[in-house]
Amino acid sequence: MHSIMLKAKLHRAEVTHAVLDYEGSCAIDGEWLDLAGIREYEQIQIYNVDNGERFTTYAIRGEEGSRMISVNGAAAHKAKVGDRVIICAYAQYSDAELVDYKPRMLYMAPGNQLSHTSNAIPVQLA
């Protein structure tokens, strides 16, 4: 049996660029891609916290250390500079791989400062 699971998440990153006249995709600081385990050209989902838009694109490598989140091409209509977004990547895992499975999550503070990393989402209280 195989399950599609959350592989990686950048939580509440701020969009730094929205470039309509670009080939497409989302440029993400290369250091964050490496920390999260997201590969260049990997499919990602972007959830815009500020306007509710949800869309699919792929990741491309942004300049290391730039704190860049650049939403490009048609997706630039769905996010503007300053919007807070959640960027997720998913992957398919076998039952055996899920025994010790943990996603990689990066949590951002204002100004796209990396606040902390985690491999578990806290239990939501009632």
Let me know if 22 is a catalytic residue: no
Q: Is 74 annotated as a binding residue?
A: yes
Q: Is 76 annotated as a binding residue?
A: no
List 22, 47, 58, 90, catalytic entry: 58
Q: Is 16 annotated as a binding residue?
A: no
Q: Is 27 annotated as a binding residue?
A: no
Angle, CA 115 vertex, CA 124 and CA 118 arms, to 5°: 50
Let me know if 58 is a catalytic residue: yes
Residues belonging to the binding site for substrate are 57, 73-75
Catalytic residues: 25, 58
Annotated binding site: 57, 73-75
